[in-house]
Amino acid sequence: MKSIFKPALLSLLVLSACSADDKTDATQTDQFSATKQDAIAFVKEAEEVITKDYEYINQTAWVQANFVTSDTNALMARASEQMTKTGVELALKAKQFNDVEVDFDTRRKLEIIKMGLVLPAPESADKVKELAEITSNLDATYAKGCDEYGECFNLGELSTIIADPEATHEEKRSAWIKWRTVSPQMRKSYQRMVEIANEGSKELGFADTGALWRSKYDMPADAFAEDMDRVWNQVKPLYESLQCHVRARLNSKYGDEVVALDQPIPAHLLGNMWAQGWSNIFEDVAPVTDVQSTDLTKVLADKGLKEIDMVKTAENFFTSLGFEPLPETFWERSLFVEPTDHTVQCHASAWDVSTTDYRIKMCIKKNAEDFVVIHHELGHNFYQRAYNLKQPMLYRGSANDGFHEAIGDTIALSINDTYLKEIGLIDQVSDESGDLPYLMRTALDKVAFLPFGLLVDKWRWGVFSGEIPADQYNKGWWDLRTKYQGIQAPVARNENDFDPGAKYHVPGNTPYSRYFLAHILQFQFHRALCDAAGYEGPLHRCSIYGNKEVGAKLNAMLEMGMSKPWQEALQTMTGSDQLDATAILDYFAPLKVWLDEQNKNRSCGW
């Protein structure tokens, strides 16, 4: 579930080419003595430039996503090129104020402008063009899904084989290998991209591009990396217990020759092409219980809820917390049902087209999964509206890039039997003794993801810094996957391979730490809000539905946007300015007890 929220035109994933004139202008800006007044004037001008095109860019993106044709794709490409060109120009102008003493807000906005670039190019027209071509080609190579010999593969079909509990381990391994033939041809281009982006990052004042990425978190770059490890170590024992149990169950299914009890788990057996989430192997590892859990999909069918009813129910969750209803245009302009007469991007997403225009785009299915997803997506909309109404353009975004997803998922954690009974969808909450399967399924999704969410950027930070040299790209990748996840490749890999490139976010240059942060923050938020509600009981059974005091506490953080360091936003919500993964341990406490009992006579670790 990826929400599309655009706090500014500076949320750039790729870099389009600038003309030689752009380079000349940027160079000239460094030739005068910048002052505080110049910095203030520049920031004001930048916000005006961004505001002018904000609605147009979002409207163009909306049309392209809802009417997918060659024409709308071309229109969006042109709009994106102009957007990225604007971002480059503003970032290069912002760096002239690096050494100018200014007030807090001016400095914060200058840094937001500079760090809006994910891959900054150096002040060379040729290298700007080269970088744009490389990033475009990397993205296209992944999208085509073809190997160097021209044989193409369908990721969806291969992923279905990986997820199929009836497929043999040989079939799964074959699917795993096939997808990784699309990425070796990316390797040379990726190396060159790293070299150019590092040049651009150094010109902006950063040690390398990885340092630029880590510097977006209101703390020194190295301190952020250390904090990520600290939080991971809090939750690591729970992950290790889960990994041990999963390995033992897979060993029972496939045998010692396929899954050895003293080795990392082969990556192709975990139900996901990248082994980042394991919920597709739930039936292989699930606890057995006699208690019948709620079948929400059946409940929705029995109640006769239509797609629009599901969205109205989700809106009611937020209004029960004291939030104002969504504007009428939300209902007029959103997409709820997949059209039959044209092609749309069905991936669920939340949009703030303007400061008064909020929408979701989703091809809703009347099932439990989409019921939860709708609540998640509306979480983005209510976050967007909260900061849009309070903050200037450059502060219209989440406190850090993990907060937006975390808010949506925090709301989703309240979609449980307690909530379903409150709104009249079920008559009675199931007995706690039947909660273990629910907790296991959730852990396979969320706990299993954590080490992967951490290591993707750890690999890239190492690549950008040179700690992982170009001739060890693949070794560095698998060293991290084994260290953090306890998994291994199902067949021998070498430096002719480029397995990181088989995950979209790597050739697509999408920073990944945000997903790790979101998985930590959502439980920290959930616990804090449940505490504020005076809830006493198992954390996984808490729902904040109907509590306006909790809603006020939530809104106080949402409306801050990016105006303060994320630590201050976190403190507003939780009372602490530190990330804390112990809420995950609290949430899954009953499962941890069960896992430890199952693992009692097993040899865990790898």
For every residue of 127-169, DSSP letters joined together read HHHHHHHHHHHHHHHHHHTB-TTS-B--HHHHHHHHH-TTS-H
242 touches 249 (CB < 8 A): no
- Would you call 20 a catalytic residue per the annotation? no
Catalytic residue among 405, 443, 518, 583: 405
For the stretch 154-182, pLDDT in tens is 888 999 999 999 999 999 999 999 999 99
310 touches 297 (CB < 8 A): no
Catalytic residue among 348, 406, 412, 528: 348
Instruction: Determine which helix (DSSP H) or strand (DSSP E) holds 110, and give its type and residue range.
Output: helix 104-114
Query: Rounded distance, CA 20 to CA 291, Å?
Result: 69
- Would you call 342 a catalytic residue per the annotation? no
Q: How many CB atoms lie within 10 A of CB 25?
A: 14
- Would you call 268 a catalytic residue per the annotation? no
Catalytic residue among 267, 377, 419, 489: 377
- Would you call 169 a catalytic residue per the annotation? no
- Would you call 536 a catalytic residue per the annotation? no
Mean pLDDT lowest for which of 17-21, 206-210, 597-601? 17-21
Catalytic residue among 169, 268, 375, 376: 376
Q: Where are the domains of the chain?
A: 20-123+200-217
Position of tokens 């990397």? Answer: 138
Catalytic residue among 245, 375, 380, 404: 380
For the stretch 484-540, pLDDT in tens is 999 999 999 999 999 999 999 999 899 999 999 999 999 999 999 999 999 999 999
For the stretch 136-151, pLDDT in tens is 888 888 878 888 888 9
- Would you call 515 a catalytic residue per the annotation? yes
For the stretch 446-490, pLDDT in tens is 999 999 999 999 999 999 999 999 999 999 999 999 999 999 999
For residue 254, how many C-alpha atoms fall within 13 Å in the half-sphere facing its CB?
28
Catalytic residue among 34, 163, 240, 505: 505
Catalytic residue among 142, 383, 473, 515: 515
pLDDT of residue 32: 56
